[in-house]
């Protein structure tokens, strides 16, 4: 079996594991977020470094929910080990877009050990937000926190979503070498986030609430639809790019 086949098999197994193990947490979190969105709230995301890709996955996404806003790290993770930096990012986002008590933030960090994501989680909790961690529990539990408080991301969150990544985030060993390739955190993380999006929509439908979906700008009438629906959240949504 070549490397591509091995990686594909790994992803297939991982997808099933991620789906089944996170099912209850996704359901509970999705219902909580839906209640808040139905009253005009916004869902927030944050990821530092490569996790920033996942933080943007749900933001301004065709076929996705409109009221989602990312806390952006302009250093792209360069300062994620700097104590105090994450708290300042939250305060900047609060000033620009608002963080409202009762809303939810999803903080994404594969290792869950660096100060910035932990500080974002703690600061948002202080502001009254619900905090969900998207992380690799295996990697995090086997790592020491670099945060001055000594806790890892999953230890400061209200909800934990496990991407089932292995330490080092590479799943396939190169034959004849100790090196490993095939990172899985982006794939499984995107799967978890989109499963959560489906659960939020399901919950909104059960309560009879409106489902604010962004349409692809390439569809007829989509631009007008998107402008009208986005205006409901004027000044609350950051843009991904």
Read off the pLDDT of residues 116-150 as tens digits, 9 standing for 90 and up. 999 999 999 999 999 999 999 999 999 999 899 99
pLDDT at 241 over 60: no
At 46 the three-state DSSP class reads: strand
Q: What is the mean pLDDT of the chain?
A: 94
At 81 the three-state DSSP class reads: coil
Architecture of domain 3-233: 3-Layer(aba) Sandwich (3.40)
Count CB neighbours of 189 within 10 A. Answer: 27
Res. 207 pLDDT band, cuts 50 70 90 = confident
User: What's the confidence (pLDDT) of residue 20?
Assistant: 96
pLDDT at 205 over 70: yes
Record the pTM: 0.95
Stretch 169-183: mean pLDDT = 92
pLDDT at 239 over 90: no
pLDDT at 23 over 90: yes
Res. 240 pLDDT band, cuts 50 70 90 = low
User: What's the confidence (pLDDT) of residue 163?
Assistant: 97
What are the residues facing 43 on neighbouring strands?
A: 68, 104
Phi and psi based region of residue 157 (left: phi greater than 0; alpha: psi -120 to 50; beta: remaining): beta
Count CB neighbours of 105 within 10 A. Answer: 29
Radius of gyration of the chain (CA): 18
User: What's the confidence (pLDDT) of residue 208?
Assistant: 84
For the chain, what are the domain ranges? 3-233
């Amino acid at each position: 079996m070549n490397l591509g086949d091995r990686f594909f098999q790994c992803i297939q197994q991982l997808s099933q594991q991620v789906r089944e193990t996170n099912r209850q947490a996704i359901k509970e979190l999705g219902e909580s977020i839906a209640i808040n969105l139905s009253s005009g709230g916004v869902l927030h995301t944050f990821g530092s470094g490569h996790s920033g890709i996942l933080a943007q996955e749900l933001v301004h996404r065709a076929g996705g929910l409109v009221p989602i806003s990312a806390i952006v790290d302009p250093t792209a993770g360069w300062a994620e080990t700097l104590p105090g930096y994450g708290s300042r990012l939250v305060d900047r986002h609060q000033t620009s877009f608002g963080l409202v008590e009762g809303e939810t933030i999803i903080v994404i960090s594969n290792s869950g050990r660096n100060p910035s994501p932990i500080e974002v989680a703690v600061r948002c909790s202080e502001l009254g937000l619900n905090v969900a961690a998207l992380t690799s529990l295996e990697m995090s539990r086997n790592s020491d926190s670099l945060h001055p408080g000594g806790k890892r991301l999953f230890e400061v969150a209200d909800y934990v979503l496990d991407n089932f990544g292995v330490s080092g985030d590479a799943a396939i060993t190169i034959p004849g070498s100790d090196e490993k390739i095939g990172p899985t955190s982006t794939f499984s993380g995107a799967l978890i986030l989109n499963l959560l999006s489906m659960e939020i929509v399901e919950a909104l439908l059960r309560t009879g609430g409106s489902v604010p979906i962004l349409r692809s700008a390439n569809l007829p009438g989509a631009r007008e639809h998107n402008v009208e629906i986005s205006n409901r959240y004027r000044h609350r949504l950051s843009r991904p790019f």
